[in-house]
Structure 1
Amino acid sequence: MITDPLSTHRYTPTQDLQGLVIASVQAALGLHLLRAAGLVTGGTAGTALILAYVTGWNFSLVFFGLNIPFFALAWAARGPVFCAKSLGTVTLVSALAEALKPVLHIDSIHPAAAALLFGISAGVGLLGLFRHSGSLGGVSIVALIVQDRWGFRAGWTQAIHDVILFALALWLLPVDRVMWSLLGALVLNGVIAFNHRRDWYVVT
């Protein structure tokens, strides 16, 4: 009988750290491109972007603040390690999103390019976070819990939430920005839905 060597392997702390950092950088870069085009996305990040556009508040602070209630859910449902990793990655992404503004200034980017690049970059970033038992908080925490308990794909849970959020965005933002944003959200959720399965990610 052949045993999959990954089934008994666990990440070392160093492997976990580098995986979470790289994934956080990818997610922050995707958000930076999205914000440069004035677009939004789903999940907690999308809610934070809408609030930032409408009120002028700082995106990173809003994003971090919105995630605070979900950390208690993460602790209760998936334990202190997952909660700590999620807190760390949300903090890192919030900080990187601010740090990228002065060092990667984008004067002009077509919304289609921003949407596609965001969807791919942030989608791969989320996959990395999921694989290392982390998340970007908010809806992604709920999506992982639903997948673990009932087998419903994390990407589809996020997609359902995004439909509701985009319906709200149509009331607050220009229609063309919402339509391009929808493209980015579809790409991101497609990356997650077709590449993240519990039985594929046996390393913890």
Structure 2
Amino acid sequence: MTADPNTLAPSPPPEPHYSLLEDIQGLIIAAAQAALGIHLLRAAGLVTGGTAGLSLILAYALGWNFSVVFFAINIPFNAFAYMARGLAFCLKSLATVTLVSLMAEGLKPVLVLQNIHPGIAAALFGISAGVGLLGLFRHSGSLGGVSIVALVLQDRFGFKAGYTQLIHDLCLFAVAFWLLPPDRVAWSLLGAVILNAVIAFNHRRDWYVVS
């Protein structure tokens, strides 16, 4: 028995996507997680990678406001965000950076941490910020900065994004060793390892249904 050539095969179901409201709430929750992680780092005098780490180092060394520095540093990267993933990604990244800056500043008077062990701060940062970044990835957002440049270099020249991020973070931690006590840098490295482990174990696109 042969199939009727005039019979059309059923169309595949449309790929599910987040609604605007789902995107907004997802980005807000993810930004809150990231801001909490940064607040824990700041309370313990620790650093991390990316533009957040650079902003913390400048805040420690020069006495500048972290939130202002973090927002300002990320402004030039908006052009790279547009080049890397288009207008939607650019706007979401800008919105997320703005939210994290405001939330990190807003946590200072309402969540005062006068005594926190740097190891606990590092571990909780890695978990909280890792979960926040996972949320941002799921809603096509980012915390801007070097990760966007890394994507552009990978797309344009084939230089792996992970290598760009690694080079930047190695330079950042080298500066941190010069400015901060060695134990604080060591705890900071622990936080960075935990954060990347959270992402490595959980950022599996084949596990997701909605994009």
| Alignment TM-score, normalising by the size of structure 2 | 0.86
Matched, 1:109 2:130: no
Q: Which residue in the other structure is 1:21 paired with?
A: 28
CA distance in 2, matches of 1:171, 1:114: 21
Matched, 1:193 2:193: no
SS in 2 for 1:177: helix
Distance 1:55 1:77, change over 3 A: same
Match of residue 181 from structure 1: 188
Deviates further, 41-50 or 172-181: 172-181
Moved more, 36-45 or 191-200: 191-200
* Residues 64 and 91, structure 1, Cα contact 8 Å, conserved in 2: yes
Partner letter of residue 41 of structure 2?
L
Work out whether 1:170 is the aligned partner of 2:172.
no
List runs of 5+ in structure 2 lacking aligned partners: 1-10
- For structure 1, the residue ranges without an aligned partner over 5 or more in a row are none
Q: Which amino acid aligns with 2:27?
A: L
Higher-Rg structure is 2
Provide, for residues 3-22 of structure 1, a one-character-per-residue CA deviation record: whole Å limited to 9, x for no partner.
997x7101000110111000
Q: CA deviation at 1:151?
A: 10
Checking the alignment, whether the CA contact within 8 Å between 1:89 and 1:134 is kept in structure 2 is yes
Structure with more helix by fraction: 1
- Please give the TM-score of this superposition, normalised by the length of structure 1: 0.89
CA 1:131–1:142 in 2, change beyond 3 Å: closer, same or farther?
farther
- Residues 1:66 and 2:70 are matched in the alignment: no
Matches within 5 A, 1:91-106: 91-106=98-113
For the 8 Å contact 1:19–1:132, the answer to whether it is kept is yes
C-alpha RMSD over aligned residues: 2.4
How many residue pairs get matched?
200
Corresponding residue number in structure 1 for 2:42: 35
Distance 1:202 1:153 in 2: 25
